[in-house]
């Protein structure tokens, strides 16, 4: 597979400029192409506007913005695209003829290896692929607005698309931190298939006089736990887009119910927007009709998506949560309100719309069960994807149990030599599910916290003791429990986007899944203190210097690095010293966090011989001052225990487990964890 490094985007409008911006943010060299220089310039202005907003919100520093903009080169005319471009994304008007004309030019201009992609929300990818001269190197992409902000992307392979092309485009999307849904080429793909008719159904309810725009929006917000109702959303994105999309779905699927409502058509013809007044209250009977109709429509169509194998049930829910920012996906909502009621709603809507409700949905007995661990086995390698991107793959009871079952199965398979763990989206794993801890503490159910953590130790032990080669692809964010999961593996492959952190002492607890024990055994006590006690963010070079990342490579080298490690075990998984003694961070950690200084550090004082006004020293003192005092002391003691227990990792891990009741029994634990989910600064009392 040839990696994607150079990207061109055809069309410098709102969508095209957004794709160019996001690609440049992730270090791709980008050409932004349009027919005339004025449109290219407008694209640059749009990008500059969004990036200026990012500076104001302190997302980027001004110098970072200049670097991003420098990677975007304006090009006038599709025929002037660099022939060596790896991926060209067409983002012009949603018209088959215009798109195929663009691809005809690109076929002539681009080198043989170039992959062509169409950013489309509705057109047939198979038809577009056959209209090009490279159907094996063609794929559909459905970016969601705004491409630089919305994390969802649907990848739609044509029937002719090669596996190498799919993998290359998927890697490009993952590098941009996108949550990827690979789906079948069916009208509306995944999200628009159920979302667009949902908008139209709201218009039909309005026409029937069931409620006003404000009332329908209010009921929809409550029923779906969303921030904006259908009419407000149409005003945001533009009613013409809704009309075009729903008419297209109606035509392609042969569903008259999906045809644009007369009220929507009239609104578009007049060039107006929906009027939404402030009076949202309606009678209970009307509210129930609105609720049942909108929910029934979503349940019915979501069931059809799964029946047609467009994508999985889990991906439907991910699409809703990530792409539309719903609190829950359709199948999760069905579980919440009760399967029986959901089936009744879906059946009523299916009769109304003359749709066939799939038998498996009608006969569903009990709540839907979701899989958060996806496994693919090929050529002796098991790729295990932790697939809970809407929560940044945070470890909860279900995911940990499923991972444990998965590892048991893979460890028993003779044909598997190597197990590779990766996360979906921009994170490897962003820690444990903090809300779980808070809920259990408030319910006085520490036993469930202990059981969850003890089970986590057992799951990580399946990696620790595996006879297979175990690799963690930590090519994104790995926090807390996610970093602990990675440290249980033989190898950790990182890229420049890798970022590690143990945030626990800052939220009132300590790393309880081996973080104090494995970190010390990998990089030594001083560097472990630097990593664990103050909760320092560790960028890729620092993580490599400490030894927490074993292989730091370019994104294009990840696959070859995995191949080089197949069937091998590290000579010394726990060297007890950092990988690069010459690193400035290692040198500082080794001196500042040395044994003689720990009494001063534990007392909140600057150690002798260090200047508190020094930038590096001052930062450590500031970070330590924000930690919960009890958590800091217990974490420090456990790090020392790792030295005392030496080669006996099991004893050290037992010490971690034994301290759980003590740390979770403190006032600071509940305060720190609660403050995190409430988005406020904790106030520790040291008890």
Which of the residues are catalytic? 121, 142, 154, 192
Q: CA–CA separation, 351 vs 450, rounded Å? A: 49
DSSP letter for 432, please.
B
Q: Which of 306, 312, 323, 406 is nearest to 360 (CA)?
A: 306
Q: CA–CA separation, 211 vs 300, rounded Å? A: 22
Contacts of 410 (CB under 8 A, 6+ apart): 375, 377, 382, 384, 416, 419, 468
The dihedrals phi and psi of 72, each to the nearest 5 degrees, come to -105, 115
Q: CA–CA separation, 298 vs 196, rounded Å? A: 10
**Contact of 117 with 88, CB cutoff 8 Å:** yes
Whether a cis peptide bond, with omega within 30° of 0, leads into 24 is no
**Contact of 390 with 361, CB cutoff 8 Å:** no
Q: CA–CA separation, 222 vs 632, rounded Å? A: 42
Helix, strand, coil percentages, rounded to 5, for the chain = 55, 10, 35
**Which residue is listed with tokens 């485009």?**
169
**Contact of 20 with 44, CB cutoff 8 Å:** no
**Paired tokens of 154:** 């649907």
> What is the Cα 386 distance to its own chain's centre?
10
- Helices (H) and strands (E) counted in the chain, each on its own, are 31, 18
* Residues paired with residue 155 on neighbouring β-strands, in sequence order: 141, 182
**Paired tokens of 174:** 């993952």
**Which residue is listed with tokens 């990675």?**
486
Q: CA–CA separation, 569 vs 577, rounded Å? A: 19
**Contact of 81 with 8, CB cutoff 8 Å:** yes
What are the strands, taking DSSP E only, across 70-178?
Answer: 72-76, 87-90, 115-119, 138-143, 152-157
Angle at 25 (CA atoms; ends 20, 31), nearest 5 degrees: 30
* Residues paired with residue 182 on neighbouring β-strands, in sequence order: 155
**Which residue is listed with tokens 């969601």?**
144
* Residues paired with residue 6 on neighbouring β-strands, in sequence order: 29
Q: CA–CA separation, 516 vs 525, rounded Å? A: 9
**Contact of 302 with 316, CB cutoff 8 Å:** yes
Number of residues assigned to the chain:
687
Residue 79: how many CB atoms within 10 A of its CB? 11
Give the torsion sign (CA, 634, 637, 643, 646). negative
**Which residue is listed with tokens 């035509």?**
251
Q: CA–CA separation, 278 vs 214, rounded Å? A: 7
**Which residue is listed with tokens 């032990």?**
461
The dihedrals phi and psi of 343, each to the nearest 5 degrees, come to -65, -40
If phi > 0 it is left, if psi is from -120 to 50 it is alpha, else beta; for residue 271 that is: left
**Paired tokens of 62:** 């001004």
Strands 29-34 and 6-10 turn out to be parallel
């Amino acid at each position: 597979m040839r990696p994607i490094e150079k990207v061109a985007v055809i069309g410098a409008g709102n969508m095209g400029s957004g794709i160019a911006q996001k690609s440049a943010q992730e270090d791709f060299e980008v050409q932004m192409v349009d027919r005339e220089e004025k449109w290219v310039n407008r694209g640059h202005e749009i990008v500059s506007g969004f990036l200026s907003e990012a500076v104001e919100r302190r997302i980027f520093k001004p110098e970072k913005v200049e670097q991003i903009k420098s990677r975007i080169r304006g090009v006038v005319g599709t025929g002037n695209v660099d022939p060596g471009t790896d991926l060209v994304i067409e983002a012009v008007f949603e018209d088959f003829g215009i798109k195929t004309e663009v691809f005809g030019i690109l076929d002539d201009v681009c080198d043989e290896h170039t992959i062509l992609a169409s950013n489309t929300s509705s057109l047939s990818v198979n038809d577009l692929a056959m209209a090009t001269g490279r159907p094996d190197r063609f794929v559909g992409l459905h970016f969601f607005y705004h491409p630089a902000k919305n994390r969802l992307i649907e990848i739609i392979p044509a029937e002719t698309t090669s596996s190498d092309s799919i993998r290359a485009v998927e890697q490009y999307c993952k590098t941009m931190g996108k949550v990827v849904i690979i789906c079948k080429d069916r009208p509306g793909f995944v999200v628009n298939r159920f979302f667009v008719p949902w908008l139209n159904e709201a218009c039909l309810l309005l026409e029937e006089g069931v409620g006003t725009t404000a009332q329908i929006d209010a009921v929809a917000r409550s029923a779906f736990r969303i921030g904006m109702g259908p009419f407000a959303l149409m005003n945001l994105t533009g009613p013409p887009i809704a009309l075009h999309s729903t008419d297209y779905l109606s035509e392609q699927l042969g569903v008259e119910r999906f045809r644009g409502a007369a009220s929507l058509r009239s609104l578009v013809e007049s060039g107006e927007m929906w009027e939404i007044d402030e009076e949202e209250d309606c009678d209970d009977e009307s509210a129930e009709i609105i609720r049942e109709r909108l929910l029934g429509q979503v349940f019915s169509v979501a069931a059809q998506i799964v029946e047609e194998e467009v994508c999985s049930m889990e991906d439907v829910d991910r699409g809703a949560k990530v792409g539309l920012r719903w609190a829950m996906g359709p199948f999760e909502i069905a579980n919440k309100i009760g399967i029986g009621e959901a089936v009744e709603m879906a059946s009523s809507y299916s009769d109304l719309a003359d749709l066939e409700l799939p038998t498996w949905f009608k006969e569903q007995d009990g709540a839907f069960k979701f899989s958060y661990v996806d496994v693919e086995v090929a050529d002796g390698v098991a790729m295990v994807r932790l697939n809970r991107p809407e929560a940044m793959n945070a470890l909860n009871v279900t995911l940990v149990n499923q991972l444990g079952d998965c590892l048991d199965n893979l460890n028993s398979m003779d044909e598997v030599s190597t197990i590779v763990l990766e996360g979906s989206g921009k994170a490897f794993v962003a820690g444990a599910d903090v809300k779980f801890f808070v809920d259990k503490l408030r319910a006085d159910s520490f036993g469930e916290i202990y059981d969850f953590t003890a089970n986590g130790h057992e799951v990580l032990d399946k990696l620790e003791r595996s006879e297979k080669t175990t690799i963690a692809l930590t090519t994104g964010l790995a926090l807390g429990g996610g970093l602990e999961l990675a440290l249980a593996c033989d190898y950790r492959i990182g890229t420049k986007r890798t970022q590690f952190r143990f945030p626990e002492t800052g939220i009132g607890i300590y790393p309880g899944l081996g973080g104090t024990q494995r970190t010390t055994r990998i990089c030594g006590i001083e560097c472990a203190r630097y990593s664990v006690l103050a909760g320092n963010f560790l960028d890729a070079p620092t993580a490599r210097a400490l030894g927490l990342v074993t292989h730091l490579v370019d994104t294009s080298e990840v696959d070859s690095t995995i191949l080089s490690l197949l069937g091998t075990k590290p000579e010394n998984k726990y060297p007890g010293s950092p990988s690069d003694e010459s690193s400035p961070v290692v040198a500082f950690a080794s001196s500042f966090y040395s044994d003689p200084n720990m009494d001063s550090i534990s007392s909140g004082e600057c150690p002798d011989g260090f200047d508190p006004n020094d930038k590096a020293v001052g930062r450590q003192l500031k970070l330590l001052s924000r930690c919960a005092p009890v958590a800091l002391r217990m974490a420090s003691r456990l790090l020392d225990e790792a030295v005392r227990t030496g080669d006996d990792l099991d004893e050290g891990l037992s010490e971690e487990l034994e301290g759980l009741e003590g740390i979770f029994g403190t006032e600071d634990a509940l305060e720190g964890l609660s403050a995190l989910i409430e988005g406020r600064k904790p106030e520790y009392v040291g008890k």
